[in-house]
Structure 1
Amino acid sequence: MSDQNGGAAFLDGAEMAASIVVHGAGTVPGAAEVRAALVEAGVPGLLVAKDPTLWGPAAESEAKIRLGWVDTFRRSRDLLPELAELREELADLTHVVLAGMGGSSLAPEVIARTLGRSLTVLDTTDPGQVRAAISDRLAETVLVVSSKSGGTVETDSHRRAYWQAFKDSGLTDAEIGRHFVVVTDPGSPLEAVATEMGAALLLADPDVGGRYSALTAFGLVPTALAGVDVAELLDQAEALFASLGQDENNPALALGVALGGAAVNDGRDKVTLIDDGTGINGLGDWAEQLIAESTGKEGKGILPVVVESPDAPGATGEDVLTACVGGALAPGVVPGGGVAPHVAVNGPLGAQFLTWEYATAIAGRILGIDPFDQPNVTESKDNTKHILSGGLPDEGPSVTDGAIEIFGDMATTVTEALRDLVNGIDNGGYLAIMAYLDRHADSDTAGLRTLLARAGQERPVTFGWGPRFLHSTGQYHKGGPQVGSFLQITGAVSEDLPVPGQEYTFGKLQAAQAAGDRKALADRGRPVLHLHLTDRAAGIAQLLAAAKDLR
Structure 2
Amino acid sequence: MMGKMEAAGGLAVTTGVDVNAVVERLKGEGIPARLAAKDATLWGPDAEAEASIRLGWIDTFEKSKELVDPLAKLRAEFGEQGIDHVALCGMGGSSLAPEVISRTLDLGISILDTTDPGQILAEIGEESLRRTAVVVSSKSGSTVETDSQRRAFEAAFRGVGIEDFAKRFVFVTDPGSQLEALATETGAHLFLADANVGGRYSALTAFGLVPTALAGANIAELIEQAEAFAASIASEDENPAVVLGAVIAAKPTITIADDGTGIVGLGDWAEQLVAESLGKDGKGTLPVVLEGPGAAGARGSDRTYATVGGSSTGLPNSGSQLAMPDTVVNGPLGAQFLCWELATAYAGHLIGIDPFNQPNVTESKENTNRILDEGLSEERPHAVDGAIEIYGSHAETVGGAIGELLVDADSDGAYIAVMAYLDRLDDAPLAQLRAELAERTGAPVTWGWGPRFLHSTGQFHKGGRQTGVFLQITGAVGEDVEIPGRDYTFGGLQAAQAAGDRQALESRDRPLVRLHLTDRKRGVNQLLHAVRGLS
Taking structure 1 as the reference length, what is the TM-score of the superposition? Answer: 0.95
Structure-2 residue corresponding to 1:248: 237
- 1:53 equivalent to 2:41? Answer yes
Structure-1 residue corresponding to 2:121: 131
| CA distance in structure 2 between the aligned counterparts of 1:310 and 1:94, rounded to whole angstroms | 35
- 1:490 equivalent to 2:480? Answer no
| CA distance in structure 1 between the aligned counterparts of 2:34 and 2:4, rounded to whole angstroms | 27
Amino acid at match of 2:144: V
- 1:377 equivalent to 2:366? Answer no
Q: Equivalent residue of 2:91, what SS?
A: coil
- 1:471 equivalent to 2:460? Answer no
- The answer to whether the 8 Å contact 2:132/2:168 transfers is yes
Amino acid at match of 2:354: D
- 1:108 equivalent to 2:98? Answer yes
- The answer to whether the 8 Å contact 2:3/2:17 transfers is no
- The answer to whether the 8 Å contact 2:417/2:469 transfers is yes
Q: 1:350 aligns with which of 334, 339, 342?
A: 334
Q: 1:32 aligns with which of 16, 20, 25?
A: 20
- The answer to whether the 8 Å contact 1:314/1:453 transfers is yes
| CA distance in structure 2 between the aligned counterparts of 1:101 and 1:351, rounded to whole angstroms | 23
| CA distance in structure 1 between the aligned counterparts of 2:526 and 2:380, rounded to whole angstroms | 20
Structure-2 residue corresponding to 1:150: 141
| CA distance in structure 1 between the aligned counterparts of 2:121 and 2:184, rounded to whole angstroms | 26
Q: 1:220 aligns with which of 189, 194, 209?
A: 209
Alignment of 1:494-533 (within 5 A): 494-533=478-517
Q: Equivalent residue of 1:54, what SS?
A: coil
Alignment of 1:9-20 (within 5 A): 10-12=1-3, 14-20=5-11
Q: Equivalent residue of 1:53, what SS?
A: coil
- The answer to whether the 8 Å contact 2:4/2:20 transfers is no
- 1:462 equivalent to 2:462? Answer no
Structure-1 residue corresponding to 2:189: 200
| CA distance in structure 1 between the aligned counterparts of 2:5 and 2:280, rounded to whole angstroms | 32
Q: Deviations over 1:462-516 (max 9, x none)?
A: 1010000000000000000000000000000011111000000000000000000
- The answer to whether the 8 Å contact 2:313/2:330 transfers is no
| CA distance in structure 2 between the aligned counterparts of 1:189 and 1:236, rounded to whole angstroms | 33
**Structure 2 gap segments, 5+ residues each:** none
Q: Structure 1 residue 334: deviation in Å? A: 4.7
Amino acid at match of 2:319: G
Q: 1:179 aligns with which of 164, 168, 178?
A: 168
Alignment of 1:447-458 (within 5 A): 447-456=432-441, 458=442
Q: Structure 1 residue 336: deviation in Å? A: 4.6
| CA distance in structure 2 between the aligned counterparts of 1:308 and 1:88, rounded to whole angstroms | 37
Q: 2:225 aligns with which of 232, 236, 243?
A: 236
- The answer to whether the 8 Å contact 2:172/2:190 transfers is yes
Structure-1 residue corresponding to 2:295: 312
Q: 1:433 aligns with which of 418, 432, 439?
A: 418
Q: 2:30 aligns with which of 25, 39, 42?
A: 42
**Structure 1 gap segments, 5+ residues each:** 1-9, 263-267
- The answer to whether the 8 Å contact 1:434/1:486 transfers is yes
Q: Structure 1 residue 40: deviation in Å? A: 2.6
- The answer to whether the 8 Å contact 2:472/2:512 transfers is yes
Q: Deviations over 1:248-301 (max 9, x none)?
A: 2111111111111x1xxxxx2100001000000000000000000000000011
Report the CA distance shift for 1:13/1:366 in structure 2 as closer, same or farther (over 3 A). closer
Q: 2:257 aligns with which of 274, 293, 298?
A: 274
Q: Structure 1 residue 428: deviation in Å? A: 1.5
Structure-2 residue corresponding to 1:3: none
| CA distance in structure 1 between the aligned counterparts of 2:35 and 2:317, rounded to whole angstroms | 32
Over aligned residue pairs, what C-alpha RMSD do you find? 1.1
Q: Deviations over 1:109-144 (max 9, x none)?
A: 010110121100000000111011111510111000
Q: Equivalent residue of 1:406, what SS?
A: strand
Q: Structure 1 residue 444: deviation in Å? A: 0.7
Q: Equivalent residue of 1:496, what SS?
A: coil
Q: 2:87 aligns with which of 97, 100, 112?
A: 97
| CA distance in structure 1 between the aligned counterparts of 2:83 and 2:289, rounded to whole angstroms | 34
Query: Could you tell me the percent identity over the aligned residues?
Result: 59
Q: Deviations over 1:132-189 (max 9, x none)?
A: 11115101110000001111000000000000011111122xx111110000000011
- 1:361 equivalent to 2:342? Answer no
Q: Equivalent residue of 2:41, what SS?
A: helix
Q: Structure 1 residue 197: deviation in Å? A: 2.0
Q: Structure 1 residue 69: deviation in Å? A: 0.4
Q: Structure 1 residue 335: deviation in Å? A: 4.8
Structure-2 residue corresponding to 1:537: 521
| CA distance in structure 1 between the aligned counterparts of 2:226 and 2:42, rounded to whole angstroms | 23
- The answer to whether the 8 Å contact 1:309/1:336 transfers is no
Q: Equivalent residue of 2:130, what SS?
A: helix
| CA distance in structure 2 between the aligned counterparts of 1:148 and 1:41, rounded to whole angstroms | 35
| CA distance in structure 1 between the aligned counterparts of 2:193 and 2:313, rounded to whole angstroms | 37
- 1:159 equivalent to 2:150? Answer yes
Q: Deviations over 1:70-103 (max 9, x none)?
A: 0000010011111111111111211100000000
| CA distance in structure 2 between the aligned counterparts of 1:387 and 1:405, rounded to whole angstroms | 21
- The answer to whether the 8 Å contact 1:257/1:362 transfers is yes
- The answer to whether the 8 Å contact 1:310/1:322 transfers is no
| CA distance in structure 2 between the aligned counterparts of 1:284 and 1:247, rounded to whole angstroms | 28
- 1:84 equivalent to 2:72? Answer yes
**Is 112-121 or 302-311 further displaced after alignment?**
302-311
Q: Structure 1 residue 409: deviation in Å? A: 0.2
- The answer to whether the 8 Å contact 2:8/2:229 transfers is yes
Q: Structure 1 residue 15: deviation in Å? A: 1.1
Q: Structure 1 residue 64: deviation in Å? A: 0.7
| CA distance in structure 2 between the aligned counterparts of 1:214 and 1:399, rounded to whole angstroms | 45
Q: Structure 1 residue 454: deviation in Å? A: 1.0
| CA distance in structure 2 between the aligned counterparts of 1:90 and 1:208, rounded to whole angstroms | 29
Structure-2 residue corresponding to 1:302: 285
| CA distance in structure 2 between the aligned counterparts of 1:68 and 1:245, rounded to whole angstroms | 16
- 1:23 equivalent to 2:7? Answer no
Q: Equivalent residue of 1:246, what SS?
A: coil
Q: Structure 1 residue 394: deviation in Å? A: 1.3
Q: Deviations over 1:174-213 (max 9, x none)?
A: x111110000000011101112221100000111000000
